[in-house]
Chains A and B, each alone.
Chain A
């Protein structure tokens, strides 16, 4: 079935370190892929998205490339900040009303 698997956390990094959070997916159709971020006490917010193979989504220094050959959508940032501390969710959408699938989330803590 359709699903998303993402890297388990928690992840702890020092400020200015490089970040990668792995995400792979299984889908029967042609999904759109998303990264959402959840700050403490808040709902999820869209961080970036990609709608087709080889698309690169980017926002706030974060990037992810839709790789169909490896069924992956890894999140990267070159230099993390303390303010990036949050839980990150990878998700896929299959274009019908109920078909969004979320990973289990990866908690990131950035220390000064």
Chain B
């Protein structure tokens, strides 16, 4: 079972470059989330979606955009990368709002 798949696994960007992180889930989950993980800060929610075609801001949305055109995919975009966006990014999904989260294996992004 694939579960939640994130691509790419690693990426290095220069300041000002753009990129898109892809998250795909095959569990027919309604809810999808993007988190970033930084040392000593746990996980912080960037954006989330409660269903196809919907998105909403989380705790740290600035500098990121998202889209959920298909139920199984949730894309995270960085239009103009900054060094402060160096982090490990995790996608997660859940069946309903209070059911456990299923996480991907993460994308390690470095912005120089």
Contacts and interface: CB of A to CB of B under 8 A. Distances in A.
The answer to whether A binds B is yes
Nearest to A95: B98
A42 B105 contact: yes
Interface stretch (B12-20, B38-46, B65-73, B79-87): B38-46
Interface in B31-59: 31, 33, 40-43, 45, 48, 50, 56, 58
A43 B90 contact: yes
Nearest to B41: A104
A45 B40 CA distance: 19
Interface residues of A, number: 24
Contact of B100 (A41, A46, A103): A46
B4 interface: yes
Nearest to B40: A104
Contact of A104 (B42, B98, B103, B104): B42
Interface of B: 4, 31, 33, 40-43, 45, 48, 50, 56, 58, 90, 92, 97-98, 100-106
In the A-B complex, the 9 residue pairs with the closest CB atoms = A43-B103, A95-B98, A104-B42, A97-B50, A46-B100, A102-B43, A102-B42, A44-B103, A43-B105
